[in-house]
Chain A
Amino acid sequence: MSLLTFTPNGLYCPQADVYIDPWRPVKKALITHGHADHSRWGHQYYLCTESAMPVIKYRLGKINVTTVAFGETRTVNGVTFQFFPAGHILGSAQIRVAYKGEVWVVSGDYKLEDDGLAEAFEPVPCHTFITESTFGLPVYKWESQEKVFESINKWWAANKAAGKYTILTAYALGKAQRILRHLDHSIGPILTHAAVENTNEVIRQQGIDLPATVPVASHFDPKIHQGGIVIAPPSALGSAWIKPFKNASSGVASGWMNLRGARRRRSVDRGFVLSDHADWEGLNQTIKATGAERVFVTHGYTDIFRRWLVDQGLEAHEVKTEYSGELAEMNEEPSTSAADNKDEAL
């Protein structure tokens, strides 16, 4: 019997009778992190890290949840479970599963660069590693966040000087707070969409320090905070919510922005390459560091990345899951272009 198996409900450990990030309601669920595709509604019992819990509880409402500290060991029917930082968002974990000397690691979503908010990633040695491959192509290479935030701050300052608002979209959970942390507050006021602000509140109550923000409420007067930066989820672009900010420059912060085509598709002024996932180098470096001989690839460019790993001499498999990675950051927006029908002109 395999220590972990892939079932229609999700990743399952038969020996301990628990699931990890299942997508259908189950009895016992171990959760890597609070993003909607990993922590779903309807399980009878949840286990996650202490710092991941508040957001998960906020999102899912009344759930039966227990927390563990990073590194703490939980044993179920002889199987030990241990959570290690995944560096993806606050509280995000890789789950180490060990039984009779055999070790698997389920990494969920992960990022190598320390963003000062998520607990810093560390590779966990194992025999079998379960990895994402959201950006598992050699065309995805991240610049240091220092450089990215330098250009975001520069852009904001230039917009302010031109008397414009700055609208930057990012995931409400994780990336938005990461951006807040690295914005240069001295430039101007920071405004937030309700989806972002609600998450901010939860995180502030955890005792985490975030800069002061002004929530954009229903009777918001855009004249008051001229030159401010607005942090909003991707879906806000193109919606009625954005309308009061008439004179504004818009941008998207996402790993997808590394491709020019994706930038153009969003038809915003600026695309900043900022991801909470590992880039090509990061994925490869991590797999090497785990020392794993066998790798399961769960989401992203799974087929390509698997073949590459096989080329590198590893045993690698592709698994169908319902995780989406950073995909939602590209598709959340309301429809804009209908047919780009290549109609010939007369």
Chain B
Amino acid sequence: MKHFAELFTALDQTTKTNTKVKALASYFGTVDDQDRMWTMALLSHRRPKRTVTTTLLRQWAAEYSQLPQWLFEESYHVVGDLAETIALVLPPPNEESHFSLTYWIDFIKALGPLEETEKRTQVLAAWKQLSSTERFVFNKIITGGMRIGVSQKLMVRALSQYTGQEESSLAHRLMGQWTPDNTSFEALILSENSLDDISKPYPFYLAYQLEGEAEALGTPDEWQAEHKWDGIRGQLIIRKGKLFLWSRGEELVTAQFPEYAPLAQLLPDGTVIDGEILPYKDGHPLSFQLLQTRLGRKNVTKKILQTAPVILMAYDLLEWQGEDIRERSMQVRRTLLEELITQHPTDGLVQLSPIVSYADWETLRQERVIAREKHSEGIMLKRKTSPYLSGRKRGDWWKWKVDPLTIDAVMIYAQRGHGRRANLFTDFTFALWKEEQLVPFTKAYSGLTDKEFGEITAWVRKHTVDKFGPVRSVTPFHVFEIAFEGIQESKRHKSGVALRFPRILRWRKDKGVKEANTMTDLLAILEQYG
């Protein structure tokens, strides 16, 4: 654990990518296979099963630190991270220990079947012998999250430095459903045929947002344009008569979308399609909201299949006749994809994402303007000669999103931020006019500069009218332009609407409260785009 804690500190103490990669590569060279595997697993969000609830951890931490529970909770609210809060409030350790990362992970796994009081004894014993950083890491593992500022991409780079293997091959090996319990470092990384796992997806190629004008990309005929459909990016795999569906978050979601099951027979073996899991009915995409209702559900009921059926809007072909064709050009892959879909009818279950034809950038700009009406988020531009790369790479693929919807609203409540912004007011509630009343309709967090957050924090302190819990109501005075990506009717919200990705676009210091928009204005947007 000491090595891992040191690694954590080293990674946490730098913002420089190269230093991080170096630290990680040298760590890989220091520890044994098991610790190496667990580190790779934790950094790619594969973690041991939860064996203790966070409620219990909070309770034990407060008791052991002799703090009232409410104060522990307030501290947690400010810190924003449970593992860190616990590590900070606990009294200093009274012993020292030198066990490995794997030892502590086994220790956490072994808590599962224990009675609550035994669990408590064990966890307290761990806290008593771990240093502050080790405690933090231990808490992170036990609470099931280990974000330490190292992306999968960085980890792959470090692993490549350590093993001398190609990054792209390592990225592929690390995909899929492995855990340190079902494979070894040898089998996963070093062996010749680690790619035997038939469910293993390819790393997704992700586009950058196009900033500036499309003209800068060159001539239109170099670029293939499609809509950026508003669903969930997915990868459909048919191998050995079996079907697997992966989401972009590297989650296997096959069971959540049973409608795709017939494709195992309809499509040939050795087929991998990159596409969008899209709610779709009667020839039209449906709102993303409908798809959201399906996520995270255990049972897919008949009703859901009727109200929110999905298709796969196919973008790209990655594997064809069992061959990895990612190196071929976009144009070639597209032709093969078109052939595949025409030769293997799927009754509309798999559809080709239509190519938007355009003679000049201006025509495409017009198409982008009306994208929202088609339930598309904008236009995707892919260089016709580009291979299918892995991860987010600049240059060949661009997303050219529609401008967000906006509305001018009045800030009425403020709340202190978490973690990074614990000492600032950063969470705001905004309202719109309805006759003489201000009706709250959304919260928004991000979008201001640090300087503006500082300024608004000072203002909130002076203009607090009332407090309830962590929330302060303030004098209605400041107007902000709120941007959002979508809007839906919602019974759960007082205003009757829910926004998608609301954020502050700018502080309208030039506007007085009376100049803010009304609920009627918002409902008009709902009418048009909801």
Q: How far is the CA of A198 from the CA of B374 in the complex (A)?
A: 63
Whether B467 is near chain A, meaning CB under 8 Å from some CB there, is yes
Whether B380 is near chain A, meaning CB under 8 Å from some CB there, is yes
Give the nearest-CB partner of A260 in chain B.
B84
Minimum CB–CB distance from A212 to chain B (whole Å) comes to 30
Restricting to A251-281, which residues have a CB under 8 Å from any CB of B? 256, 258-265, 267-270
Cross-interface CB contact of A260 among B12, B67, B450, B464, cutoff 8 Å: B12
The reply to whether A138 and B89 contact each other, CB–CB distance below 8 Å, is yes
The reply to whether A261 and B80 contact each other, CB–CB distance below 8 Å, is yes
Cross-interface CB contact of B15 among A269, A307, A330, cutoff 8 Å: A269
Q: How far is the CA of A304 from the CA of B416 in the complex (A)?
A: 13
Cross-interface CB contact of B399 among A262, A264, A346, cutoff 8 Å: A346
The reply to whether B420 and A261 contact each other, CB–CB distance below 8 Å, is yes
Q: How far is the CA of A153 from the CA of B140 in the complex (A)?
A: 30
The reply to whether A138 and B501 contact each other, CB–CB distance below 8 Å, is no
Q: How far is the CA of A311 from the CA of B70 in the complex (A)?
A: 11
The contact string, 1 if C-beta is below 8 Å from chain A, for chain B 443-462, is 00011011111100110011
The reply to whether A261 and B79 contact each other, CB–CB distance below 8 Å, is yes
The reply to whether A262 and B462 contact each other, CB–CB distance below 8 Å, is no
The reply to whether B422 and A259 contact each other, CB–CB distance below 8 Å, is yes
Residues of A close to B420: CB separation below 8 A: 261-262, 264-265
The reply to whether B421 and A341 contact each other, CB–CB distance below 8 Å, is no
Residues of A close to B12: CB separation below 8 A: 260, 263
The reply to whether B71 and A138 contact each other, CB–CB distance below 8 Å, is yes
Give the nearest-CB partner of B85 in chain A.
A139
The contact string, 1 if C-beta is below 8 Å from chain A, for chain B 192-236, is 000000000000001101000000000000000000100001000
Cross-interface CB contact of B206 among A301, A322, A334, A345, cutoff 8 Å: A345
Whether B166 is near chain A, meaning CB under 8 Å from some CB there, is no
Whether B521 is near chain A, meaning CB under 8 Å from some CB there, is no
Whether A320 is near chain B, meaning CB under 8 Å from some CB there, is yes
Minimum CB–CB distance from A154 to chain B (whole Å) comes to 12
Residues of B close to A327: CB separation below 8 A: 423, 454, 457
Whether B259 is near chain A, meaning CB under 8 Å from some CB there, is no
Q: How far is the CA of A277 from the CA of B81 in the complex (A)?
A: 24
Cross-interface CB contact of A139 among B79, B450, B457, B501, cutoff 8 Å: B79
Whether B68 is near chain A, meaning CB under 8 Å from some CB there, is yes
Whether A339 is near chain B, meaning CB under 8 Å from some CB there, is yes
Minimum CB–CB distance from B459 to chain A (whole Å) comes to 12
The reply to whether B446 and A340 contact each other, CB–CB distance below 8 Å, is yes
The reply to whether A345 and B392 contact each other, CB–CB distance below 8 Å, is yes
Residues of A close to B392: CB separation below 8 A: 345
Whether B294 is near chain A, meaning CB under 8 Å from some CB there, is no
Q: How far is the CA of A341 from the CA of B505 in the complex (A)?
A: 10
Whether A137 is near chain B, meaning CB under 8 Å from some CB there, is yes
The reply to whether A343 and B15 contact each other, CB–CB distance below 8 Å, is no
Whether B13 is near chain A, meaning CB under 8 Å from some CB there, is yes
Whether A149 is near chain B, meaning CB under 8 Å from some CB there, is no
Give the nearest-CB partner of A333 in chain B.
B450
Cross-interface CB contact of A137 among B13, B70, B78, B501, cutoff 8 Å: B78
Cross-interface CB contact of B423 among A262, A268, A337, A340, cutoff 8 Å: A262
Whether B418 is near chain A, meaning CB under 8 Å from some CB there, is yes
Residues of B close to A311: CB separation below 8 A: 68, 71
Residues of A close to B418: CB separation below 8 A: 261
The reply to whether A342 and B450 contact each other, CB–CB distance below 8 Å, is no
Restricting to A290-346, which residues have a CB under 8 Å from any CB of B? 301, 303-304, 307-308, 311, 320, 322, 324, 327, 330-331, 333-343, 345-346
The reply to whether A269 and B14 contact each other, CB–CB distance below 8 Å, is yes
Minimum CB–CB distance from A308 to chain B (whole Å) comes to 6
The reply to whether B503 and A341 contact each other, CB–CB distance below 8 Å, is yes
Q: How far is the CA of A301 from the CA of B79 in the complex (A)?
A: 13
Q: How far is the CA of A138 from the CA of B78 in the complex (A)?
A: 11
Q: How far is the CA of A268 from the CA of B74 in the complex (A)?
A: 27
Give the nearest-CB partner of A334 in chain B.
B451
The reply to whether A138 and B446 contact each other, CB–CB distance below 8 Å, is no
Residues of A close to B461: CB separation below 8 A: 320, 322
The reply to whether A137 and B74 contact each other, CB–CB distance below 8 Å, is yes
Residues of A close to B467: CB separation below 8 A: 303
Q: How far is the CA of A13 from the CA of B149 in the complex (A)?
A: 52
Restricting to B59-87, which residues have a CB under 8 Å from any CB of A? 65, 67-68, 70-72, 74-75, 78-81, 84-85
The reply to whether A256 and B14 contact each other, CB–CB distance below 8 Å, is no
Give the nearest-CB partner of B453 in chain A.
A331
Q: How far is the CA of A301 from the CA of B467 in the complex (A)?
A: 14
Q: How far is the CA of A335 from the CA of B507 in the complex (A)?
A: 14
Give the nearest-CB partner of B86 in chain A.
A139
Give the nearest-CB partner of B80 in chain A.
A261
The reply to whether A268 and B446 contact each other, CB–CB distance below 8 Å, is no
Residues of A close to B80: CB separation below 8 A: 261
Q: How far is the CA of A308 from the CA of B69 in the complex (A)?
A: 11
Minimum CB–CB distance from B130 to chain A (whole Å) comes to 16
Whether B419 is near chain A, meaning CB under 8 Å from some CB there, is yes
Whether B88 is near chain A, meaning CB under 8 Å from some CB there, is yes
Whether B424 is near chain A, meaning CB under 8 Å from some CB there, is yes
The reply to whether B450 and A337 contact each other, CB–CB distance below 8 Å, is yes
Cross-interface CB contact of A335 among B16, B88, B451, cutoff 8 Å: B451
Q: How far is the CA of A345 from the CA of B451 in the complex (A)?
A: 28
Minimum CB–CB distance from A7 to chain B (whole Å) comes to 15
Q: How far is the CA of A281 from the CA of B467 in the complex (A)?
A: 27
The reply to whether B454 and A331 contact each other, CB–CB distance below 8 Å, is yes
The reply to whether A141 and B419 contact each other, CB–CB distance below 8 Å, is no
Whether B248 is near chain A, meaning CB under 8 Å from some CB there, is yes
The reply to whether A304 and B71 contact each other, CB–CB distance below 8 Å, is yes
The contact string, 1 if C-beta is below 8 Å from chain A, for chain B 341-385, is 000000000000000000000000000000000000000100000
Restricting to A153-182, which residues have a CB under 8 Å from any CB of B? none
Q: How far is the CA of A307 from the CA of B206 in the complex (A)?
A: 49
Instruction: Known A311-B68, A345-B248; judge A304-B450 contact (CB<8 A).
Output: no
Q: How far is the CA of A98 from the CA of B464 in the complex (A)?
A: 33
The reply to whether A339 and B71 contact each other, CB–CB distance below 8 Å, is no
Minimum CB–CB distance from A109 to chain B (whole Å) comes to 15
Residues of B close to A338: CB separation below 8 A: 447, 449
Give the nearest-CB partner of A269 in chain B.
B14
Residues of B close to A320: CB separation below 8 A: 461-462, 464
Residues of B close to A259: CB separation below 8 A: 78-79, 84, 88, 419, 422
Minimum CB–CB distance from B6 to chain A (whole Å) comes to 14
Q: How far is the CA of A335 from the CA of B450 in the complex (A)?
A: 5
Question: Could you say which of B13, B14, B447, B504 has the most chain A C-beta atoms within 10 Å of its C-beta?
Answer: B13
Give the nearest-CB partner of B380 in chain A.
A346
The reply to whether B79 and A267 contact each other, CB–CB distance below 8 Å, is no
The reply to whether A346 and B207 contact each other, CB–CB distance below 8 Å, is yes
Restricting to B427-476, which residues have a CB under 8 Å from any CB of A? 446-447, 449-454, 457-458, 461-462, 464, 467
Minimum CB–CB distance from B462 to chain A (whole Å) comes to 7
Restricting to A6-62, which residues have a CB under 8 Å from any CB of B? none
The reply to whether A322 and B84 contact each other, CB–CB distance below 8 Å, is no
Give the nearest-CB partner of A256 in chain B.
B423
Residues of B close to A269: CB separation below 8 A: 13-16
Instruction: Known A303-B467, A335-B449; judge A258-B15 contact (CB<8 A).
Output: no
The reply to whether A141 and B88 contact each other, CB–CB distance below 8 Å, is yes
The contact string, 1 if C-beta is below 8 Å from chain A, for chain B 295-309, is 000000000000000
The reply to whether A139 and B452 contact each other, CB–CB distance below 8 Å, is no
Instruction: Known A259-B422, A269-B13, A311-B68; judge A339-B79 contact (CB<8 A).
Output: no
A-B CB contact pairs (8 Å), 5 listed? A269-B14, A320-B464, A336-B449, A339-B446, A343-B501
Closest 3 CB pairs of A and B: A261-B419, A335-B449, A331-B454
Extra A-B contacts (4), CB below 8 Å, given A263-B12, A335-B450: A138-B71, A261-B421, A339-B504, A340-B446
